[in-house]
Amino acid sequence: MDIKEIQRILIVGAGTMGQQIGLQCAMHGYQVTIYDIDPAMLETATAQIKTYAAHLVTAGHLSEVEAGAALARISTNGDPAEAAQADLLSESVPEEPELKARVLAQFNQLCPLHTIFTTNTSMLLPSMFAEATGRPAQFAALHFHQVVWESNVVDIMPHPGTAPETVALLQAFAKRIGQIPIVLQKEHNGYVFNSMLSALNRAAISLAAEGVASIEDIDRAWMGVMKTPIGPMGILDVIGLKTAWDITDYWARTLDDPELQKNAVFLKKYVDQGQLGVKTGRGFYSYPDPAYQQPGFLEGE
């Protein structure tokens, strides 16, 4: 398959990542259909994508005309059979292995035979779903980073049965949508950047769960030394605390790891209260204008 034959993109899952990946593809000329099992999410996604586009215009990344054209290329569809008429599928449903396998198997029944399947999983391996896709040679992880247009790196992670042509196609596709492709030479939980980030996040959550330091002081320590505008707890708010809990809980159970179990209990308290991070206006911090962006934060004022 030639890169020119990829024209229609199907995004499965209209949450944070599906919205951003959809807009990124549309900004680079692709026709995008977004499908979600929850019709209310399709409305939320449409509104949020408009907000993202407006921010990109304000920030000077897009002209009004370009933003309008990108938005016009995006449609939502609650009918999976109609949505399935695409050349490349990008899956961004929650980080639950059984759910991802079910959704990929569902779309295997609906999509044309040539459709390339990709998963945006954070910590799982494509080999776990290769069979479910029914087209293992045309399947790999294509993993984005938030915010997609700013942190423009994608991991391309094949499983042992992925065809080399699929990897080459995904590399070309990544470049066409303004991303820097990182091709993994073997499967690895957490890819490249996230492997480094998750070690930091785990240490930060453990410090908070153990009550060693306050959330603010954990971030202050990192930001003060590394001179970054955000610390690990703030980053977790951006990732989303439900996603962070899903990942921590999965590995706590899979590895039977007591430190991770404690961290999962700590994160679950926020999830149960609906404090999911930036997307709900409250997580470890309150949004907009979280404390770590205020003058004097590093000084503890």
Ligand X SMILES: NC(=O)c1ccc[n+]([C@@H]2O[C@H](COP(=O)([O-])OP(=O)(O)OC[C@H]3O[C@@H](n4cnc5c(N)ncnc54)[C@H](O)[C@@H]3O)[C@@H](O)[C@H]2O)c1
User: For ligand X, which residue of 23, 26, 32, 41 counts as binding (CB under 6 A)?
Assistant: 41
Determine the residue type at 167: V
Say if residues 16 and 240 touch (Cβ distance below 8 Å).
yes
Beta strands in the chain (DSSP E): 8-12, 31-35, 74-76, 88-91, 116-119, 139-143, 153-158, 180-183
Instruction: Based on the shown chain and the rule CB under 6 A, indicate whether residue 201 belongs to the binding site for ligand X.
Output: no
* Segment near ligand X (CB under 6 A); pick from 32-40, 53-61, 157-165, 204-212: 32-40
Closest by CA position to 300, among listed 199, 242, 214, 235: 214
Least Å from the CB of residue 269 to ligand X: 18
Residues that bind ligand X (rule: CB under 6 A) add up to a total of: 26
Nearer of residues 18 and 158 to ligand X, judged by Cβ: 18
User: For ligand X, which residue of 1, 28, 37, 259 counts as binding (CB under 6 A)?
Assistant: 37
Residue 154: strand pairing partners: 181
Measured distance CA(70)–CA(9) in Å, rounded: 13
Q: Which of residues 136-155 bind ligand X (CB under 6 A)?
A: 143-144, 146
Nearer of residues 159 and 213 to ligand X, judged by Cβ: 159
Closest by CA position to 241, among listed 204, 215, 208, 270: 270
Instruction: Based on the shown chain and the rule CB under 6 A, indicate whether residue 13 belongs to the binding site for ligand X.
Output: yes
Determine the residue type at 221: A
Distance of alpha carbon 230 from its chain centroid, rounded?
A: 19
* Segment near ligand X (CB under 6 A); pick from 94-102, 196-204, 215-223, 266-274: 94-102
Instruction: Based on the shown chain and the rule CB under 6 A, indicate whether residue 190 belongs to the binding site for ligand X.
Output: no
168 HSE (CA, 13 A, CB side): 6
Nearer of residues 44 and 298 to ligand X, judged by Cβ: 44
Q: Which of residues 104-133 bind ligand X (CB under 6 A)?
A: 120-122
Say if residues 140 and 156 touch (Cβ distance below 8 Å).
yes
Measured distance CA(25)–CA(29) in Å, rounded: 7
What is residue 141's three-state secondary structure? strand
Name the token pair of 203: 């240490």
Nearer of residues 38 and 165 to ligand X, judged by Cβ: 38
Least Å from the CB of residue 4 to ligand X: 28
User: For ligand X, which residue of 76, 92, 166, 179 counts as binding (CB under 6 A)?
Assistant: 92
* Segment near ligand X (CB under 6 A); pick from 67-75, 164-172, 237-245, 253-261: 237-245
Least Å from the CB of residue 187 to ligand X: 16
User: For ligand X, which residue of 162, 198, 243, 275 counts as binding (CB under 6 A)?
Assistant: 243
Preceding omega of 147 cis (within 30 degrees of 0): yes
- Interacting residue ranges for ligand X, rule: CB under 6 A: 12-18, 36-38, 41, 92-95, 99, 103, 120-122, 143-144, 146, 239-240, 243
